[in-house]
Structure 1
Amino acid sequence: MTRGAALLRSSDSGLLLLALIIGAGAGLGAVVFRWLIKTFTRVLSGHADFAGIGHASNPHVPWLGPYFVLLAPVVAGLLYGPLVYFFAREARGHGVPEVMYAVARKGGRIAPQVAAVKALASALCIGGGGSVGREGPIVQIGSALGSTLGRVVKVAEPRMRVLVACGAAGGIAATFNAPLAGVFFAMELILADFAAQSFGMVVLSSVIASVIGRAALGNKPFLTLPTFTVDHLSQYLFFALLGVLAGGVGVAFTRIMYWIEDACDWAWRGPEWLRPAVGGLVLGVVLLVLPQMYGVGYPVLGNGVAGKYAIGFLIVLLLGKVVATSLTIGIGGSGGVFAPSLFIGAMLGSAYGQGLHDILPGVAGSAGAYGLIGMGAVFAGSSRAPITAVVIMFELTGEYSIILPLMVAIVLATGISHLLTPDTIYTLKLRRRGIDLDAPPHAEAMMGELVSQIMEPTEQTVSEHETLTGAVRALAGSRHGQLPVVDDEGRYLGVINRRDLAEALSTGDRDVDHVADWVEHPPTVTCDATIEAALPHLEDTQGPVPVLDAGSTAVVGWLSHQQVLTAVYLPGAAGMPPAQRSATS
């Protein structure tokens, strides 16, 4: 073990150096990725950006006319489908959830081949007409670079997570020329933590990546937007209403995307590596009808905000983007959902602004202003990353005057999203796999454990023929204030608890009346049920739930809220005796 490697692993200066190296790598990776997208777009469409051209032909195959878009996604799918399936299956989809999962549950470990596979697959997908964005791929590419360097140096898990976030921030900063947005995207969505040391390292990585990106790609925003102005204070009410609407649209986009993905899963019966090519035929039909959906679509977004489209066509573009992006992800494509959410927001805001301008021309103001606000608000509604949404829109426009109306709309959009769904467009993908990032790291695994592994064995039972006096003696030593009641053959009949026993003693003859007359029937679970299946029964009662054997005849234990909490938060103590478990906790 060399002293240099040890310093890189453990010292603050070593972490600083690693952050700078990762920032440089992410910046170069973003430059290469942007070049790949442009190259594949030119090869497969014959143009630098086909989305803004309309029903044009491909000069490489002019005899196909505009119908070449039927084949471009198929050819791309034939290339990236096997690439993803055989070399890095986590490169499928929009990428950010996989990075979030790696940071939260895998100590930041990401397979090194993901960077190369994701870059090629996403560039092919976008170049072949896939209606997805660049941010998901570049986040995964940069994160994979950070994780790979961390594994080479053998840093501890907390530092590995920081390095992964450095890669994500650097990728966003370089590809969008938005260093602040890169920082807050990484801190808010990837790390979900704003610790001072982490923040400093992520900032350094974002800065160096942005410098490299600007040197190679130029010092200008990736999107040119109109000047923003607020002409009347009454416009804040209109911006607030747009925020509410955008929050609902962001949630609807999330739901529709996963609904279409489920439909694609249901419909496809062939090998997964062939799915993008066959599904590309369906995507090609969408592109033939609406060529503005080809690729990322920034020229179309810019035209929409600039007021070059009528309200009806803006709504068509909004719906078309929802369908095209969802279909691209559903057929197994690779690309991000950040840019599509900006596109959808721009179309929503521009249509809303034009409508207001037609109704209240002297008060509503510029329709483009609403387009800008809509971009940030729909992204916030789908991702619930309000800080990132505010910062990236500020960086895109360079206008400080956008901050106040943007904050109003984004906060309301985020609030509406919270009311409508517990998940975001990123976390829903993980929850559908049974992964809850808000739960303790081992909680998902524990949900599948059997009740028998965490239950508390039965202390004793009470015969149905026992008198009330005898029941008092038995209950005096019960930890839970209740005991199972059994018949002569040991079969479970119910429980007798202290509350009911006290009532029985006040109204009956304690030496004559029997326990059988005062049996309660609380919810029960069987010992072979999973913890997840048992939770609804626990929710229906205040005390512990009786656990029966597999045949539901004999009582074998108790399952309490404390047992489940101990299993989730102190898994090693779940099977201990009560006294020892209490000492452990």
Structure 2
Amino acid sequence: MAFFYLVMYIPARYFINMEFDSFTSLPLITRISLPVLACFLLALLFHFVPKAYHKVGVPYVVERLTYHGGHLPVWNGLMQFVSAVVGLLGGLSMGKEGPAVHLGATLGSVLAVRAKLTQYGVETMLACGVAGAISAIFQTPLAGVLFAFEVIFLEYRQHFVLPVLLSSVVATFVSHYLIGPMNVFDINALHHVTLSLELLAACLLLVVMIVLLVVLFFHTQKMAWRFSQISVWWRFSIVALFTALAASYLPESLGIGYGSLSRLLVGDLFVYALLVLILVKTVLTAVTIGLGIPGGMIGPAFVIGGIAGVFVALVFGVEADNIALFALLGMAAMMAASFQAPLTALVAIIEMTQSSAAIVPALFVIVLSCLLLRVLFHQESIFVERLKFMGMASSMSPFRRHLRQHKVSSVADEVMVLAVKIPLEQVKDLASSMVNYVVFKTDGRWYWVHRAHILEALQNLDIGPQAWLRFDQDVGVMDLRLAVSCEGILQIDEPSSLEALLGWFQETRQNDVLIRLSNATYCVVSKHRLDQFLLKHDD
């Protein structure tokens, strides 16, 4: 995340000659040229890169978690990195937080796969990557943890909490050390908030405004999604045109928008254009992301909500010292309503202000905004809506989740690996063994047999010489191929979870399988034993 930040900051500072995300300071021709050039480069990149690598962002992370066990390809992550840097430097209305989530999730997934972790380990590492990414970008460790649970997993995973917390805290320390304190918004700590009827009325107006903005944000994107099959050149040209027009007449809408909100909070108020800025920023971000530009929505959502909060404060004639409170309330409500992440939004503003004074009004606007969107407009998170539009589920069934949480050892029978020809003394030792099954390999194939059948064959020696009896240096040995009737069995490496094992049984239509575990030992799993496990745990 520090490298991602520096790759954007250094070119902006030393080549474009501006502070990152401060496009209003640039000459008009530069402001117009940057988004046009960025869209051209992105269209060129998408044209030559295979379509399999075009999928990026938070919806893609949720998709891979739901349908592919959380395995994220490295090349999609690289595509996200390059395209996000180009778009952000070009002033497109998008955020860096969504790409950061994809990069963090990819890192966690790759490390888990390289370490050959189980499905539980893959999901844990993915959650650690997401939480670490958000923590590094905002330097809000608790908000990073909650974001991973509320937005990516769509549920709280108690058994993930400790490693995810550790990842989040370490990421914050590293971000502080490499980048320094990131005061995204120049907001002083709120020491006291007086609850009054005027505050309640202002909060109600803010809730109505936020809900309408989120509906506009959602429906504009849904309209843009319908053009997803059109050539990338046409789609990105439309984004370039819209952004160039915004750069000409309202440059405050360019980029993420942190700079514009910061100026509002220090008293540089352009009230006459405030409502226009809110609407333009909302539509421009929705069109940019909806037409396929690989950027994030979290940062712009924060900015839109913050500006809406400032607007409401000015409508009610709030004192300048309290305008920051309404900006925070708007940021929290917009984020919570857009991504259905109420606790993430609440904790984020607490960590940013290092104060709990705004908890009561923040909870009021957050909860009411989320409820109104769900009840009146039936809107889920924008990421969930995107997956629904693509015909995909955003979460897995309880049955699949239950299977993912269990390893193969839950249904496995231990086996003893023997040579094809074994000394009779070793055969006799099988009588005291607690292992029921024996496996051996011959002619490149694995065979398995119950231990009792081998012991029965040994007892036949009392009748007379057997066809399976051989002598090796005057030592009697049993040839298992001749002594017992053996069944062939396929051998696979240990699956990541019972879900993967069930999928293997359904695909191959086998009844039994020999599994090589990570510690180089073997076990046998039968389809019947797996079915018994599923019936036993069926709720």
TM-score (norm 1): 0.64
Give 2:133's aligned amino acid.
G
Please name the residue that 2:99 is paired with: 137
Please name the residue that 2:331 is paired with: 375
Change (3 A) 1:194 1:232: closer
**C-alpha separation in 2, matches of 1:300 and 1:93:** 30
CA contact (8 A) 1:41 1:49 kept: yes
Stretch of structure 1 that moved more, 40-49 or 333-342: 40-49
1:303 aligns with 2:263: yes
- The number of aligned residues is 403
Change (3 A) 1:406 1:347: same
- DSSP-derived class of the 1:53 partner: helix
Change (3 A) 1:280 1:307: same
**C-alpha separation in 2, matches of 1:91 and 1:223:** 34
Please name the residue that 1:252 is paired with: 216
Please name the residue that 2:452 is paired with: none
CA contact (8 A) 1:307 1:367 kept: no
**C-alpha separation in 1, matches of 2:127 and 2:44:** 29
CA contact (8 A) 1:92 1:332 kept: no
**For 1:491-570, what aligned pairs fall within 5 Å after superposition?**
none
1:94 CA displacement: 6.9
1:225 aligns with 2:181: no
Give 2:24's aligned amino acid.
I
**C-alpha separation in 1, matches of 2:238 and 2:327:** 35
Change (3 A) 1:205 1:84: farther
Percentage identity across paired residues of the two chains: 27
Pick one of 41, 46, 55 that aligns with 2:12.
Answer: 41
CA contact (8 A) 1:381 1:410 kept: yes
User: What root-mean-square deviation, in Å, do the aligned CA atoms of Structure 1 and Structure 2 show?
Assistant: 2.9
CA contact (8 A) 2:92 2:254 kept: yes
1:145 CA displacement: 0.7
Give 2:334's aligned amino acid.
V
CA contact (8 A) 2:23 2:31 kept: no
| Residues 390-432 of structure 1 deviation map (CA, whole Å, 9 limit, x = unaligned) | 0111111112101111111101111111111242211111000
**For 1:298-447, what aligned pairs fall within 5 Å after superposition?**
298-357=258-317, 366-419=322-375, 420-438=377-395, 440=397
1:183 CA displacement: 0.8
1:203 aligns with 2:159: no
Give 1:231's aligned amino acid.
T
Change (3 A) 1:180 1:86: farther
1:106 CA displacement: 1.4
1:181 CA displacement: 1.1
**C-alpha separation in 2, matches of 1:205 and 1:167:** 7
Change (3 A) 1:175 1:118: same
1:244 CA displacement: 4.0
Change (3 A) 1:254 1:441: farther
**C-alpha separation in 1, matches of 2:275 and 2:51:** 35
**C-alpha separation in 1, matches of 2:219 and 2:6:** 33
Please name the residue that 2:175 is paired with: 213
**C-alpha separation in 1, matches of 2:34 and 2:399:** 44
Please name the residue that 2:34 is paired with: 72
CA contact (8 A) 2:91 2:255 kept: yes
Change (3 A) 1:273 1:148: farther
- DSSP-derived class of the 1:357 partner: coil
1:101 CA displacement: 1.5
Pick one of 242, 250, 253 that aligns with 1:290.
Answer: 250
**C-alpha separation in 1, matches of 2:68 and 2:397:** 13
Give 1:333's aligned amino acid.
I
Give 1:47's aligned amino acid.
M
Change (3 A) 1:244 1:316: closer
**C-alpha separation in 2, matches of 1:178 and 1:348:** 23
Give 1:406's aligned amino acid.
A
CA contact (8 A) 2:53 2:75 kept: no
Give 1:33's aligned amino acid.
F
1:387 CA displacement: 0.5
Q: Which runs of 5+ in 2 are unaligned?
A: 401-504, 507-530
Give 2:100's aligned amino acid.
I
CA contact (8 A) 1:293 1:320 kept: yes
| Residues 245-291 of structure 1 deviation map (CA, whole Å, 9 limit, x = unaligned) | 323322321222222343x547x4x4x36753564244222222211
CA contact (8 A) 1:243 1:377 kept: yes
**For 1:478-493, what aligned pairs fall within 5 Å after superposition?**
none
**C-alpha separation in 1, matches of 2:24 and 2:93:** 15
Change (3 A) 1:398 1:91: farther
Change (3 A) 1:93 1:103: closer
Give 1:71's aligned amino acid.
S
Give 1:155's aligned amino acid.
L
**C-alpha separation in 2, matches of 1:428 and 1:94:** 16
Pick one of 112, 117, 125 that aligns with 1:155.
Answer: 117
**C-alpha separation in 2, matches of 1:365 and 1:35:** 33
1:117 CA displacement: 1.9
Change (3 A) 1:39 1:324: farther
**C-alpha separation in 2, matches of 1:314 and 1:440:** 45
CA contact (8 A) 1:95 1:137 kept: yes
Give 2:393's aligned amino acid.
D
Change (3 A) 1:381 1:307: farther
Give 2:325's aligned amino acid.
A
- DSSP-derived class of the 2:143 partner: helix
| Residues 138-196 of structure 1 deviation map (CA, whole Å, 9 limit, x = unaligned) | 00000011111111112122221111111111111111111111111011111233233
Change (3 A) 1:441 1:98: farther
Change (3 A) 1:135 1:220: closer
1:441 CA displacement: 8.8
Change (3 A) 1:254 1:307: farther
| Residues 217-263 of structure 1 deviation map (CA, whole Å, 9 limit, x = unaligned) | 1134322224434234322343244234323322321222222343x
Give 2:168's aligned amino acid.
S
CA contact (8 A) 1:305 1:347 kept: no
Q: Which runs of 5+ in 1 are unaligned?
A: 1-29, 58-65, 444-570, 573-580
Give 1:367's aligned amino acid.
I
CA contact (8 A) 2:61 2:152 kept: yes
**C-alpha separation in 2, matches of 1:224 and 1:93:** 35
CA contact (8 A) 2:305 2:327 kept: yes
- DSSP-derived class of the 1:129 partner: coil
1:368 CA displacement: 2.7
TM-score (norm 2): 0.69
**C-alpha separation in 1, matches of 2:6 and 2:294:** 17
1:342 CA displacement: 0.8
**C-alpha separation in 2, matches of 1:93 and 1:298:** 27
**C-alpha separation in 2, matches of 1:355 and 1:389:** 24
Please name the residue that 2:467 is paired with: none
| Residues 291-330 of structure 1 deviation map (CA, whole Å, 9 limit, x = unaligned) | 1122112110112234422433211111111122123224
